[in-house]
Amino acid sequence: MEVETGVGLDIKTALKQVFGFDKFRGNQEEIINNLMSGKNTFVIMPTGAGKSLCYQLPAIVQEGTAIVISPLIALMKNQVDLLNGVGVNAQFLNSTLTKTEMARVKKEVLAGEVKLLYVAPESLTKEENIGFLKSARISFVAIDEAHCISEWGHDFRPEYRRIRFIIDMLGNLPIIALTATATPKVQQDIQKNLTMEDASVFKSSFRRHNLHYEVRPKVNAKKQLMRYILNNKGKAGIIYCLSRKKTEEIAEFLRVNGIKALPYHAGLDAQTRIRNQEQFLREDCDVMVATIAFGMGIDKPDVRFVIHYDAPKSLEGYYQETGRAGRDGLPSECLMFFSYADIDKLEKFNKDKSVTERDNARLLLQEMTDFADFSVCRVRQVLHYFGEYLDKDCNNCDNCNKPAEKYKIEEEAIIALNAIADTEERFPIQHIADVCAGVQNDYAVSYSHTKLDVFGKGKDRTVKWWYSVIRQLSIQGLIVKDLENFGALKVSEEGKKFLKAPYPVVMSKDHDYSAEQMDVENDTDDKEPIRGGAAYDGELFELLKGLRKKVGKEKNLPPYVIFSDVALEEMATIYPINEASLMQITGVGQGKATKFGKPFLELIQKYVKENEIETEQDVVIKTTGDKSKNKIQIIQQIDRKMDIEEIRDSRKITMSELLQEIEMICFSGTKLNISYYIDNILDDDRQEEIMDYFMRAESDDIEMAMNEFDGEYTEEELRLMRVKFLSEIGN
């Protein structure tokens, strides 16, 4: 079924009809309106936050064809499959097409039938394509994976530097550049190359709340890997390896142990790569073992874990690769096995590069090593790398869940900041650490830094210790990077305030991987901790998942194009038995309900009947809807962050009765964010203590919890925290 497109279709109507969403996420609507007004637009948005919608929706509602420049053939095919699955005419133009297919695509574009045309940057340089595109009615140009433009980034591609020249040949067209990974330096380089310095910049937070980050010493890695995969058997996951040989080896190791795993790397022939990717997308394979050649071409929302078997080349690449987990918003894991041997190996790979490239690669590797070494909150480290400041820990990473020893400094922080200021804010972290520790090297002597008052003021500490302190002060916002002088550090405005009125600063002791490796080597516990939980009907969910896979095969589409995991979970929670109720499910619009809904409704109807389940529709008929209406009103009041006590008073019920209503809503699978209320009655440490209890407890029984804490918390506080726990971990 092809959906209505073109001028006159409102973007919110199109959002619901085509994509099945009731509202935009984040700043999507603002981005779309900016682009549709003809302005150049630069979007920095993390993976899974809805970047593609920012150019797909305006392409659908405007006249003409949007050109989407994309780096990988697999990515184009994936996007086109998704759009065709919801009734939008999207096509790609690349070397995989026959002459007949290419002629058909061009004919449809010239006839104004194609809304989005995906092309590789190399294809733009071909004279016949430039001539053809000049004759087409183009609405705008979208440059996906725009970080490929920057030579300062982790995935530089020289052909991307010519994009602006080609676009200028096609006319004065609005441009939207999009990326999930751009440090401030990379952002600056992208805008300069595209002559988009005056573009409207939309930068979303890089934080992904549903991802749990963990780094483990790479000791007995295969044994650790096997434990983890078996504990997560049946879940979709990606394992990244550095070499093709290692990719094949790990895939074979998993297959021998009964795991449905396949390899993916550039050394495989194109047909095998495509076949393996299709099997992963269609759920015939659970685990894809891959080099970084895999990932940019995939849009699979239900990847539950991403494992780095080998250390990545950069924090930027690591973030992009981990971003392929949990794109549906559900809890997902990001695990890295780290060893200094991997870093040394990567250093050797860079020996044949130019001096500039080698220095840049070394800085990127150092960032990666620091990320592993430091026991500071992983999320704060990642956000800091991308120029974003987080003022508190995430409480969802290994460093937060198992905090390292803390210590406070004040005089040492003053020394570090003075060292940066006294060396005129022109030098990188390693040199500042040397100055603090009083290292007499040629570099310090040549700049006369050995004569500074601050030189050697911290000589009772090691250079490594100073390096860690300076890095942690950066993460806490007292130090910033100089964009114009790559690698150099500057004292931030917050740092200047600190120097005027110093105060104790909390530091974390770095990881000692030699000791942690011993712990792993001596570990004999074969059980991997299980996170998460589900409040939906698990049996129905598995039946729906099986049906989705079957329909996907019949339609020759990846299963998630039919319905997302989130949608299936919601179906297994509220049991929709007609098309009207199916359309209330998140991500299910009229097009999907009409196109795919019938077999799913039949399955649910049969399941409900066989198991004598009273559905929400039945309840409404029998109770005149008051009960359902009450729940909806409570959900809306909580969404508006109305004080819980005000909700209680407005409903004229006791707090215990209100908590019972809230618990029923939560237990049915609805996520309720009551943190705004809890934060006023319990501090972070007390909340963390209760959350840790519910994570390890055998039951969520409140009486058991009260006995555990021996009256330290009230029943009301524990019930509220149970709702928070179930909403964040289970729903």
pLDDT at residue 186, as a whole number? 85
Helix axes 655-667, 644-651, angle to 10 degrees: 110
Kind and range of the H or E element at 622? helix 616-623
pLDDT at residue 447, as a whole number? 93
pLDDT digits (tens, 9 = 90+) for 349-391: 777 777 877 888 888 888 898 999 899 999 999 998 888 888 8
Indicate the pLDDT class of residue 528, thresholds 50, 70 and 90: very low
**Chain centroid offset of residue 696 CA:** 26
pLDDT at 295 over 80: no
Q: Are 57 and 35 in contact (CB under 8 A)?
A: no
User: In DSSP terms, which residues pair with 505 in a beta bridge?
Assistant: 409
- Residue linked to tokens 């150019």: 55
pLDDT at 271 over 80: yes
pLDDT at 543 over 90: yes
- Give the Cα separation of 422 and 478 in Å (integer): 16
In order of 106, 130, 134, 144, 481, the CA distances from 169 in angstroms are 18, 8, 8, 19, 37
Nearest to 547 by CA among 570, 563, 566: 563
pLDDT digits (tens, 9 = 90+) for 194-220: 989 889 999 888 888 899 999 999 888
- Give the Cα separation of 178 and 54 in Å (integer): 9
- Greater pLDDT, 610 or 75: 610
Indicate the pLDDT class of residue 621, thresholds 50, 70 and 90: very low
Q: Are 42 and 202 in contact (CB under 8 A)?
A: yes
Hey, which of 274-283, 470-479, 632-641 has the most confident mean pLDDT?
470-479
Lowest mean pLDDT among 416-425, 461-470, 611-620: 611-620
Other beta carbons within 10 Å of 635 = 15
Lowest mean pLDDT among 286-290, 575-579, 669-673: 669-673
Q: What is the mean pLDDT of residues 231-238?
A: 90
pLDDT at 529 over 50: no
Percent of the chain with pLDDT over 70: 88
What secondary structure letter does DSSP report for 652?
Answer: T
Indicate the pLDDT class of residue 256, thresholds 50, 70 and 90: confident
pLDDT at residue 454, as a whole number? 95
- Give the Cα separation of 545 and 565 in Å (integer): 8
- Give the Cα separation of 191 and 176 in Å (integer): 11
Q: Are 93 and 105 in contact (CB under 8 A)?
A: yes
- Residue linked to tokens 């937070």: 205
Lowest mean pLDDT among 372-381, 434-443, 626-635: 626-635
In order of 13, 138, 450, the CA distances from 63 in angstroms are 16, 8, 66
Q: Are 378 and 216 in contact (CB under 8 A)?
A: no
pLDDT at residue 627, as a whole number? 46
- Greater pLDDT, 69 or 157: 69
Farthest-apart Cα atoms in the chain, separation: 86
pLDDT at residue 615, as a whole number? 64
Q: Are 531 and 554 in contact (CB under 8 A)?
A: no
Q: Could you tell me the two tokens for 105?
A: 């695509």
pLDDT digits (tens, 9 = 90+) for 450-490: 999 999 999 999 999 999 999 999 999 999 988 777 778 99
- In sequence order, which residues have a C-beta less than 8 Å from that of residue 696 and are 6 or more positions away? none
Q: What is the mean pLDDT of residues 156-173?
A: 83
Write a three-state SS string for 409-446. ECHHHHHHHHHHHHCCCCCCHHHHHHHHHCCCCHHHHH
Q: Could you tell me the two tokens for 244?
A: 């093709």
Q: Are 297 and 72 in contact (CB under 8 A)?
A: yes
Backbone φ and ψ of 133, nearest 5°: -65, -30
Q: Which amino acid is at 162?
A: R
Q: Are 94 and 45 in contact (CB under 8 A)?
A: no
- Greater pLDDT, 697 or 381: 381
pLDDT digits (tens, 9 = 90+) for 84-106: 888 899 999 887 788 899 899 99
pLDDT at 335 over 80: yes
Backbone φ and ψ of 211, nearest 5°: -100, 135
- In sequence order, which residues have a C-beta less than 8 Å from that of residue 551 and are 6 or more positions away? 559, 562, 596, 599
- Give the Cα separation of 291 and 268 in Å (integer): 11
- In sequence order, which residues have a C-beta less than 8 Å from that of residue 349 and are 6 or more positions away? none
**Chain centroid offset of residue 24 CA:** 18
Q: Are 464 and 373 in contact (CB under 8 A)?
A: no
- Greater pLDDT, 74 or 357: 357
- Give the Cα separation of 49 and 46 in Å (integer): 6
pLDDT at 570 over 90: no
Q: Which amino acid is at 70?
A: S
- In sequence order, which residues have a C-beta less than 8 Å from that of residue 540 and are 6 or more positions away? 571, 572, 575, 604, 607
- Give the Cα separation of 398 and 416 in Å (integer): 28
Write a three-state SS string for 142-203. EECCHHHHCCCCCCCCHHHHHHHHHHHHHCCCCEEEEECCCCHHHHHHHHHHCCCCCCEEEE
- Give the Cα separation of 444 and 438 in Å (integer): 9
Q: What is the mean pLDDT of residues 640-669?
A: 78
pLDDT at 625 over 70: no
- Give the Cα separation of 178 and 148 in Å (integer): 11
pLDDT at 601 over 50: yes
pLDDT at 513 over 80: no
Q: Which amino acid is at 559?
A: P
- In sequence order, which residues have a C-beta less than 8 Å from that of residue 465 and are 6 or more positions away? none
pLDDT at 659 over 50: yes
Other beta carbons within 10 Å of 317 = 21
Nearest to 157 by CA among 117, 190, 127, 135: 190
Backbone φ and ψ of 290, nearest 5°: -145, 160
SS3 (DSSP) at 91: strand
Q: What letters, b where the CB count within 10 A reaches 16 and e where it falls short, cover 258-294?
A: ebebbbbbeebeeeebbebbeebbbbebbbbbbbbbb
Lowest mean pLDDT among 75-79, 99-103, 220-224, 437-441: 75-79
Percent of the chain with pLDDT over 90: 37
Other beta carbons within 10 Å of 82 = 19
pTM summary value: 0.66
**Gap between the terminal Cα atoms of the chain:** 33
Indicate the pLDDT class of residue 566, thresholds 50, 70 and 90: confident
pLDDT averaged over every residue in the chain: 84
Q: Are 368 and 311 in contact (CB under 8 A)?
A: yes
- Give the Cα separation of 102 and 110 in Å (integer): 12
Q: Which amino acid is at 411?
A: E
Nearest to 298 by CA among 285, 316, 314: 285
Domains (range + CATH), the chain: 11-203 (3.40.50.300), 211-401 (3.40.50.300), 406-509 (1.10.10.10), 538-619 (1.10.150.80), 624-730 (1.10.10.1390)
